[in-house]
Structure 1
Amino acid sequence: MAAQIKVWIIIISLLIPSVIFGQDDNSTNKKMDKVIKLIENQYVDSVNMPELVEIAIKAILHDLDPHSKYMNKKELAENNESLKSSFGGVGLFYQILNDTLLVLSPTPNGPSENVGIKKGDKIIKINDKNVTGKNISNTFFTNLLRGENNSSVEITIKRHYSDSIMTFKVIRSQIPISTVEASFMLNETTAFLKISNFSFTTNDEIQRAFDRLSSQGMENIIIDLRGNPGGLMLAAIKLADEFLDANKLIVYTKGEHFKTQNYNSTSGGSMLSSKLIVLIDEGTASASEIFAGAMQDLDRGLIIGRKSYGKGLIGRNYNLPDGTAIRLITGHYYTPSGRCIQKSYENGVDEYKKDLKKRFENGEYLYADSTHFPDSLKFKTFKGRTVYGGGGIFPDIFFPMDTAKYPEDIKSLFAKGIIQEFAAQYFDANLEFLQINYSNIDLFEQNFIVKDEIINQIINFAKAKFNLNIDGKNVQVYKIRILKFYKAYLTRNLFGNSYFYNEIWTTDQLINYSLEIMHQGKIFKKYKISAN
């Protein structure tokens, strides 16, 4: 270890000045080559050169900015999966229940469904490995079930309500990851769309959602980008294009080695006449901020929530000869009014990473006036409204974080996944009844009634399995919330993850507030927000 530290110091001390002070490429390359050869041939101890080179690369990139980074082969594959919104796998949505993997649903037309694996099956063996017991985890199953396209895996299951043990040979294929988490009507005219991140498939997913929602009467839409870390810039630009008429500047980029590039809207957007509200918070970053910033600067949509993250750096992946890669920042994003989305990192990466914590400590999540802007950060929207730069997007209407002080027993009920597990247990015990009586989501939403007695069953379950005592008075206060989440988990287990939000959105204060605002024309007029 001491030898590695010494070599690391030598490499960094020689390489970083070359990066910072801009020596010519030939001089820098010669210096690097000589350092590596000297260490390989002259150093006192044996060293792991590939590992040391990785350490050196990471250290150089760490000192450049907060988002340039080195990616090993595994990290690069995960990054590509995120952007492609797919991975090599068997296509199963599952939950661990009583130390066994319970299949909630196979992906429609996916490899598992195609060979005969069904909802409610329990997986007991993968290849020759027994996969039941207390040591299993989601990561454990992910490592066993994911793999290269066209590779095979044998999955042994116990059929639901049967003693039948069956083994299936499953050929892995690309499994899509949906980036549109939810899309449904909040009322007769207003739709809700939640996007988890922006990828190559996002715009196709959004267009399908728009088509379906339009057929259901959509005139207005609330787009939820809270917690959306960004992703593919072009996907966010294309979404903005749906709300704009032609030749509107959506975003522009520039960097030291790249010319300024403008990205303008085209004609033919499908949402030109729809009223728009965009929800953001401190987890809204990068591509999400491009969309929110464009809608704000062009006075096209009302932005509600809390100040966004402030990540406006363009990252490009450059592959290295050994199959690894570096993500190098090559430019900045700017909103149509000229605001740089990226917050400052002049005090170093470590301080930069403390920014969200400092915002919380300063009260910025709770009070709009906790954020102060100097006059130098003022910009004007298309219609002359004042907006502020300095990194991130500050909303038109501030909405504080929910700081409700839940009792410890109620917090534990949610945090430990007790309601979720109880719903899975009910699903497992009553699957045939549920499938016969509620064959589609409409029947379930209209006819499945969660009885108050379920509350007592959840309380008893929490005590028996988790040794958690829940105060009866607290249960009465939070009963509606508990039962809504119970039904939401059950809905998800039966019909898919996208239906989870259909059940719980009424517990979300910001969605409820935004729905009220949507129908107050004077608010849109006050902020000069209008459709095309």
Structure 2
Amino acid sequence: MSGYSKKYLPLIIGAACAFGVFIGASLDFSDSSEGLFTANAKKEKLNRLIDYIDYEYVDNVNTDSIVDVTVNSILEDLDPHSTYIPKQKYDALAENMKGDFVGIGISFYTLNDTIAVIKPLANGPSEKVGIKAGDRILYADGIELAQKTINTDSLSSLLKGKINTTVNLKIKRNGSEKLLDFKVKRGTIPIKSVDAAYMLNKKLGYIKVNRFAESTYKEFETAIESLIAQGAKELALDLRDNGGGYLDQAVKIADEFLSDKKLIVFTKNKSGEIKKTFATKKGRFENSKVFVLINENSASASEIVAGALQDNDVGTIVGRRSYGKGLVQREMNLGDGSAVRLTVARYYTPTGRSIQKPYDHGNNKEYFEEYLSRYSNGELQSRDSISVNDSLRYETPGGKVVYGGGGIIPDVFVAKDTDYEKESLNYMLKGGVMDRFIFNILEKDRNYFNNITQEEFNESELVTDKTLQNYIDYLKEFNFDFRTKNYRYLLKKYLRATMAEQLFGTNAAQRIIGEDDKMIQKLLALD
């Protein structure tokens, strides 16, 4: 196989992990900065230097960029998770964690210089006025949206806007000679953090959470109610690849499994002040069997949930050692639209262990690439290869031995599949190439696919061996020569999952992907 070279896979994995933890660094703490900043010599020194450069330096210099570099340099000497957010990135990051935005409610991408609708979101503004998958949006309020004439930021500003404002769209639809006019009233569009919720068997429900955003617990509640209505008596909570998010959302979810007054987490700041958070009386799965799935990319708030249950002898943690982020950040506005997420405390699981992995040199490359060492030392294949520090040994009330100092070690270990051929398929699934290929298939008969039910989809073989071969040929356009015969069945399944996602959403796709999931198979064997 070419294209996905073995030597680049670890770098891709490391980069993905670092990004996940960056997202996971935003924990929910409010703060007023008034009173923190008083005149002092160090502050005046920096101000004076910037003024000298602004007014006296021989050349024109962008001092904003100098300040950005200075702030980043300061933070790099602190810890790996104190982060500077430039003002040009702040809104996008805030929106991602907010849980919703105002827009017209479509998923789309640019295709042949037009805006192609992959799917209008269920019950969203676009679906309500009749926009369908496959439609091409050519104009918004009279402005041409061709890729060559408008950039992504401008496009977003045209389709997004204030709540209840309208945008007039002109759309090209297959089978219609004339452009169609639609007047869409912008509404609140959720950014989902619950990817899937379905029954694994008659009594075990499954929920996959991709991050802890503002709306996560509300989504989680809706998922639980649906599963209980389907007969769920037990629950599997999938936190794999969940880099974290808001602390309060993680606490509320942990509370669903813990009885009243059980300690969930506590934090300690530089002055030694301790803040403890306890479970409440509510909790729909307090006396039920529960499984939590974690892996090497589960970080921060995900580790809080796993650690709270493990230390209270509740449920079974399944998977591989989690990332190891036990630092608490508080977001602080810097006054010009930028912000800093500064580490203000450490958090501890109920037994008193810190799961923060060591960092000796602040925000350095070695810290984030520690993930890669797990490949070389064998711990992704064997629990016995996980290094523990006996000085950080703790016991739960039930006598279970747990360790601090570097992530949550699962109760039941499941090895990572490190077959490079198979792993490359996972990256392909997430990389967008399958999306374009499947979109083109759906385009050939939009009338049929826009009206197919999920039951009809499940009973039909819409991805055939011929489809698979066409995809392999399609990959050659990207200089990717897919030669393996061992995983053709899996590639075919992923193509089917991609089709399900475009037609019915992530829940349908995750159900198909989960059929060959080692961790899900393991917890079903444990149930």
User: Could you tell me the TM-score, scaled by structure 1's length?
Assistant: 0.83
Q: Does 1:110 align with 2:124?
A: yes
- Residue 395 of structure 1 corresponds to 410
Contact residue 296 and residue 321 of structure 2 kept, 8 A: yes
Aligned-partner residue type, residue 509 of structure 1: K
Which residues in structure 2 correspond to 1:186-205 (within 5 Å)? 186-205=200-219
**Could you tell me how far apart the structure 1 residues matched to 2:103 and 2:307 are?**
37
Contact residue 419 and residue 486 of structure 1 kept, 8 A: yes
**Sequence identity (%):** 38
Which runs of 5 or more structure 1 residues have no equivalent in the other structure?
A: 1-22, 519-532
- Residue 283 of structure 1 corresponds to 297
Which residues in structure 2 correspond to 1:24-35 (within 5 Å)? 26-35=40-49
Contact residue 139 and residue 170 of structure 2 kept, 8 A: yes
The total of aligned residue pairs comes to 491
- C-alpha deviation, 1:419, in angstroms: 4.3
Q: Deviations over 1:34-67 (max 9, x none)?
A: 3334444544444333332222122112211111
Greater relative contact order structure (CA < 8 Å, 6+ sep)? 2
**Could you tell me how far apart the structure 2 residues matched to 1:398 and 1:87 are?**
39
Contact residue 377 and residue 389 of structure 1 kept, 8 A: yes
- C-alpha deviation, 1:178, in angstroms: 0.8
Which residues in structure 2 correspond to 1:291-310 (within 5 Å)? 291-310=305-324
- Residue 368 of structure 2 corresponds to 353
- Identify if the C-alpha distance between structure 1 residues 170 and 265 changes in structure 2 by more than 3 Å, giving closer, same or farther: same
- C-alpha deviation, 1:359, in angstroms: 2.3
- C-alpha deviation, 1:127, in angstroms: 5.0
Q: Does 1:496 align with 2:509?
A: no
Match among 226, 230, 235 for residue 249 of structure 2: 235
Aligned-partner residue type, residue 217 of structure 2: N
- Residue 380 of structure 2 corresponds to 365
Aligned-partner residue type, residue 406 of structure 2: G
Contact residue 222 and residue 277 of structure 1 kept, 8 A: yes
Contact residue 418 and residue 462 of structure 1 kept, 8 A: no
- Residue 507 of structure 1 corresponds to 516
Q: Does 1:449 align with 2:458?
A: no
Structure 1 range deviating more: 179-188 or 457-466: 457-466
- Residue 246 of structure 1 corresponds to 260
**Could you tell me how far apart the structure 1 residues matched to 2:442 and 2:137 are?**
16
Contact residue 97 and residue 424 of structure 1 kept, 8 A: no
2:188 aligned counterpart, secondary structure: strand
**Could you tell me how far apart the structure 2 residues matched to 1:139 and 1:485 are?**
31
- Residue 81 of structure 1 corresponds to 95
**Could you tell me how far apart the structure 2 residues matched to 1:272 and 1:112 are?**
40
Q: Does 1:322 align with 2:336?
A: yes
Aligned-partner residue type, residue 444 of structure 1: F
- Identify if the C-alpha distance between structure 1 residues 356 and 127 changes in structure 2 by more than 3 Å, giving closer, same or farther: farther
1:59 aligned counterpart, secondary structure: helix
- Residue 16 of structure 1 corresponds to none
- Residue 240 of structure 2 corresponds to 226
1:289 aligned counterpart, secondary structure: helix
Contact residue 133 and residue 450 of structure 2 kept, 8 A: no
- Residue 61 of structure 1 corresponds to 75
2:40 aligned counterpart, secondary structure: helix
1:406 aligned counterpart, secondary structure: helix
- C-alpha deviation, 1:406, in angstroms: 2.3
Structure 1 range deviating more: 265-274 or 462-471: 462-471
Contact residue 198 and residue 287 of structure 1 kept, 8 A: yes
Contact residue 315 and residue 327 of structure 1 kept, 8 A: yes
- Structure showing greater Rg: 1
- C-alpha deviation, 1:159, in angstroms: 1.8
- Identify if the C-alpha distance between structure 1 residues 25 and 284 changes in structure 2 by more than 3 Å, giving closer, same or farther: farther
- C-alpha deviation, 1:411, in angstroms: 8.4
**Could you tell me how far apart the structure 1 residues matched to 2:421 and 2:150 are?**
31
- Residue 206 of structure 1 corresponds to 220
- Identify if the C-alpha distance between structure 1 residues 140 and 420 changes in structure 2 by more than 3 Å, giving closer, same or farther: farther
- Identify if the C-alpha distance between structure 1 residues 455 and 126 changes in structure 2 by more than 3 Å, giving closer, same or farther: farther
- Residue 135 of structure 2 corresponds to 121
- Identify if the C-alpha distance between structure 1 residues 276 and 155 changes in structure 2 by more than 3 Å, giving closer, same or farther: same
Aligned-partner residue type, residue 340 of structure 2: I
**Could you tell me how far apart the structure 2 residues matched to 1:137 and 1:40 are?**
32
1:124 aligned counterpart, secondary structure: strand
1:64 aligned counterpart, secondary structure: coil
Superposed CA RMSD: 3.1
**Could you tell me how far apart the structure 2 residues matched to 1:504 and 1:359 are?**
25
Contact residue 419 and residue 458 of structure 1 kept, 8 A: no
- Identify if the C-alpha distance between structure 1 residues 359 and 461 changes in structure 2 by more than 3 Å, giving closer, same or farther: closer
- C-alpha deviation, 1:166, in angstroms: 2.0
Contact residue 409 and residue 468 of structure 1 kept, 8 A: no
Q: Does 1:423 align with 2:435?
A: no
Contact residue 417 and residue 423 of structure 2 kept, 8 A: no
Contact residue 344 and residue 391 of structure 1 kept, 8 A: yes
- C-alpha deviation, 1:158, in angstroms: 0.9
1:403 aligned counterpart, secondary structure: coil
Contact residue 459 and residue 469 of structure 1 kept, 8 A: no
Q: Deviations over 1:338-392 (max 9, x none)?
A: 1112212123321212211222222222222222213101111121111111121
Which residues in structure 2 correspond to 1:101-180 (within 5 Å)? 101-127=115-141, 130-132=144-146, 142=156, 145-147=159-161, 149=163, 153-180=167-194
Q: Deviations over 1:100-119 (max 9, x none)?
A: 44323212332323443223
Contact residue 197 and residue 229 of structure 1 kept, 8 A: yes
**Could you tell me how far apart the structure 2 residues matched to 1:342 and 1:398 are?**
20
**Could you tell me how far apart the structure 1 residues matched to 2:61 and 2:480 are?**
57
Q: Does 1:377 align with 2:392?
A: yes
- Residue 342 of structure 1 corresponds to 356
User: Could you tell me the TM-score, scaled by structure 2's length?
Assistant: 0.84
Match among 478, 481, 484 for residue 493 of structure 2: 484
**Could you tell me how far apart the structure 1 residues matched to 2:345 and 2:512 are?**
42
- C-alpha deviation, 1:460, in angstroms: 3.1
Contact residue 365 and residue 401 of structure 1 kept, 8 A: yes
Q: Does 1:274 align with 2:288?
A: yes
Aligned-partner residue type, residue 382 of structure 2: Y
- C-alpha deviation, 1:147, in angstroms: 4.8
Aligned-partner residue type, residue 172 of structure 2: K
- Identify if the C-alpha distance between structure 1 residues 418 and 319 changes in structure 2 by more than 3 Å, giving closer, same or farther: closer
- Identify if the C-alpha distance between structure 1 residues 402 and 461 changes in structure 2 by more than 3 Å, giving closer, same or farther: closer
- Identify if the C-alpha distance between structure 1 residues 177 and 58 changes in structure 2 by more than 3 Å, giving closer, same or farther: same
Structure 1 range deviating more: 415-424 or 162-171: 415-424
**Could you tell me how far apart the structure 1 residues matched to 2:208 and 2:148 are?**
35
- Identify if the C-alpha distance between structure 1 residues 119 and 223 changes in structure 2 by more than 3 Å, giving closer, same or farther: same
